[in-house]
Amino acid sequence: MTNTLRMSTIYFLLTIFGLFMILPFIWMISTSLMTQSEFNKNEAIFIPKEQYHVWEDGTQSQRILVVMDKGDSTVVHVLNKELKIEQEYLSIPSNQIKEVIKKPSLSWENFKKAFNKVPFGIYFANTLYVSFSSLIGVLLTSFLAAYALARMEFKGKNFIFLLFISMMMVPEPIYLISSYMLLDKLSWLDTYKALIVPWCVNVFTIFLFRQHFKSLPKELFDAAMIDGASTFGMLWRIILPLSKPIIATASVFSLIGSWNSFMWPLVMTNRPELRVLQVGLSYFNQEASTQTTLLMAASTFSIVPILILFFLAQKQIIASAAKTGMKD
């Protein structure tokens, strides 16, 4: 009974904390489906609704904006089909005005307007190109470096590994200026090389791979050496087939990091045709600062691909995380 109560309390608290974590995402999606006028009213928080007035004179029905109620008559602006003002300050009988409330009312056109307002197609293409190019480099360098640190014996191996790990504690702004100067000397600024090459090595991925390689039975490598397998033969025939979960995890982390990268591409590139998604989203924020619904729509379709990728690979992430924590 005590154990059941303890587990129930734990699950209850985890559920509460989980709801608090997803509330901002729910608000973002809900806001992206509202009209701007409805958002400005600040009445609907999570369920989009549309509220407007209609003038029905017996022959036709037209959308209107109420300006002033004078009792028996009301001063209104008459709107056309594009919801733009067609007639101003028209006085009509109050009994011909009807209030319409649609709940929920989903404004899917916000996504189309946001996507077409700035060249998000170019931003998505640049982000995909940079992300997958960096991913290939990360997997190659991490695979080879992790094997050397996990299975090969050489002087200073542990010191080099600790040096790598210590680099994870250095924040990006510390080395941003020196990196800018280096890329300037290489004439890589404002090119794809500046966005891809520096991120083809990832210390955290090397750490993940090393821990995984150390968890593999030594007997597998001994048997392969007896059979005459070379180092690259063992990497290709033994380690690679056994490393699919860790490769999937490293790929997800690398893609998420590249997808969310903002400061580095903002500093290293200037041409609009080289903007990645997060930088483009920042410029879109400046252009549409008063259109909150479009901003939330852009944020929603920017984050959805990463969420889908994470949910598809969550089993591999959990499996690799369990092996990462194993002691040497």
What per-residue confidence (pLDDT) applies to 122? 93
Q: Is residue 43 part of a domain?
A: no
What gap in Å lies between CA 247 and CA 316, rounded to an integer? 9
Q: Is residue 29 predicted with pLDDT exceeding 70?
A: yes
Q: Is residue 315 predicted with pLDDT exceeding 80?
A: no
Tell whether 70 and 195 lie within a shared domain.
Answer: no
Confidence band for 16, pLDDT divided at 50, 70 and 90 = very high
pLDDT tens digits, residue range 72-104?
888 888 888 767 788 788 888 887 888 776 666
Instruction: Dump the DSSP string for 277-324.
Output: HHHHHHHHHHHTTT-HHHHHHHHHHHHHHHHHHHHHTHHHHHHHHHHH
Tell whether 75 and 135 lie within a shared domain.
Answer: no
Q: Is residue 326 predicted with pLDDT exceeding 60?
A: no
227 secondary structure, DSSP code: T
Tell whether 192 and 248 lie within a shared domain.
Answer: yes
Tell whether 96 and 128 lie within a shared domain.
Answer: no
Q: Is residue 45 part of a domain?
A: no
Percent of the chain with pLDDT over 90: 25
Q: Is residue 258 part of a domain?
A: yes
What per-residue confidence (pLDDT) applies to 134? 95
What per-residue confidence (pLDDT) applies to 267? 92
Q: Which positions ≥6 away from 250 have C-beta within 8 Å?
A: 138, 139, 142, 202, 205, 208, 209, 320
Residue at token pair 């990006």: 172
What per-residue confidence (pLDDT) applies to 44? 60
Q: Who wins on pLDDT, 164 or 287?
A: 164
Q: Is residue 247 part of a domain?
A: yes
Number of other CB atoms surrounding residue 53 within 10 Å = 16
Tell whether 222 and 186 lie within a shared domain.
Answer: yes
What domain range is 19 assigned to? 2-38
Q: Is residue 297 predicted with pLDDT exceeding 60?
A: yes
Tell whether 59 and 176 lie within a shared domain.
Answer: no
Tell whether 149 and 258 lie within a shared domain.
Answer: yes
Number of other CB atoms surrounding residue 69 within 10 Å = 12
Structure tokens at 36: 């701007």
Tell me the sheet residues that pair with 162.
none
Tell whether 175 and 93 lie within a shared domain.
Answer: no
Q: Is residue 52 predicted with pLDDT exceeding 80?
A: no
What per-residue confidence (pLDDT) applies to 39? 78
Contact (CB, 8 A) for 287 and 117? yes
Span 230-250, average pLDDT: 84
Instruction: Dump the DSSP string for 122-180.
Output: HHHHHHHHHHHHHHHHHHHHHHHHHHHHHH---TTHHHHHHHHHHHTTS-HHHHHHHHH
Number of other CB atoms surrounding residue 181 within 10 Å = 11
What gap in Å lies between CA 328 and CA 325, rounded to an integer? 9
Tell me the sheet residues that pair with 79.
85
pLDDT tens digits, residue range 112-137?
888 888 889 999 999 999 999 999 99
- Find the CATH number of the domain harbouring 122: 1.10.3720.10
Q: Is residue 189 predicted with pLDDT exceeding 90?
A: yes
Tell whether 55 and 177 lie within a shared domain.
Answer: no
What per-residue confidence (pLDDT) applies to 192? 94
Q: Which strand (E) or helix (H) includes residue 36?
A: helix 36-41
Tell whether 95 and 172 lie within a shared domain.
Answer: no
Q: Which strand (E) or helix (H) includes residue 54?
A: strand 50-56
Tell whether 184 and 204 lie within a shared domain.
Answer: yes
Q: Is residue 49 predicted with pLDDT exceeding 80?
A: no
Confidence band for 206, pLDDT divided at 50, 70 and 90 = very high
Q: Number of folded domains in the chain?
A: 3
Percent of the chain with pLDDT over 70: 92
Q: Which positions ≥6 away from 70 have C-beta within 8 Å?
A: 91, 94
Q: Is residue 225 part of a domain?
A: yes
Q: Is residue 244 part of a domain?
A: yes
Tell whether 62 and 134 lie within a shared domain.
Answer: no
Residue at token pair 């640049």: 126
What gap in Å lies between CA 282 and CA 261, rounded to an integer? 12
Q: Which residues of 12-51 are buried (b: 16+ CB within 10 A; e: fewer)?
A: eeeeeeeeeeeeeeeeebbbbbbbeebbeeeebeeebbbb
Q: Is residue 317 predicted with pLDDT exceeding 90?
A: no
Q: Is residue 22 part of a domain?
A: yes
Q: Is residue 221 part of a domain?
A: yes
Task: Tell me the pTM.
Answer: 0.78
What gap in Å lies between CA 299 and CA 137, rounded to an integer? 28
Contact (CB, 8 A) for 48 and 107? yes
Q: Which strand (E) or helix (H) includes residue 77?
A: strand 73-79
Alpha-carbon 274 to chain mean position: 19
Rounded alpha-carbon distances, angstroms, from residue 40 to 6, 50, 119:
45, 12, 27
